[in-house]
Amino acid sequence: MSNRFEIVFQRTKKEVRPAFMPFLVAGDPDYKTSLELFKSIASKADMLEIGFPYSDPLADGPTIQAADERALKSEINTDKVFSLIKEIRKFYSHPISVLVYVNLVYQYGIDKFYRQASLMGIDGVLIPDVPLEESQIFVAAAKKYKVSPVFMITQTTNNERLKKILKVAEGYLYLVSVLGVTGTGNSLGKETYDFIKRIKKNSKLPLALGFGISTREHIANAAKAGIDGVIVGSAIIKILEANLQNPDQAKNKIETFVSELIA
* Catalytic site residue from 46, 49, 68, 170: 49
Catalytic site residue 60?
yes
Indicate the length of the chain as a whole number: 263
Q: Which amino acid is at 28?
A: D
* Of residues 132, 139, 192, the one with CA closest to residue 161: 132
3-state class (DSSP) for residue 207: strand
Catalytic site residue 49?
yes
**Can you name the residues that pair with 20 across neighbouring β-strands?**
230
DSSP 161-199: HHHHHHTT--S-EEEE-SSS-TT------HHHHHHHHHH
Q: What whole-number distance in Å separates Cα of residue 223 and Cα of residue 55?
A: 34
Looking at residue 18, the DSSP 8-state letter turns out to be P
Q: What whole-number distance in Å separates Cα of residue 10 and Cα of residue 241?
A: 34
Contact (CB, 8 A) for 143 and 114 = no
Q: What whole-number distance in Å separates Cα of residue 95 and Cα of residue 3?
A: 9
* Catalytic site residue from 6, 46, 56, 60: 60
Q: What whole-number distance in Å separates Cα of residue 118 and Cα of residue 111?
A: 11
Give the catalytic positions in this structure.
Answer: 49, 60
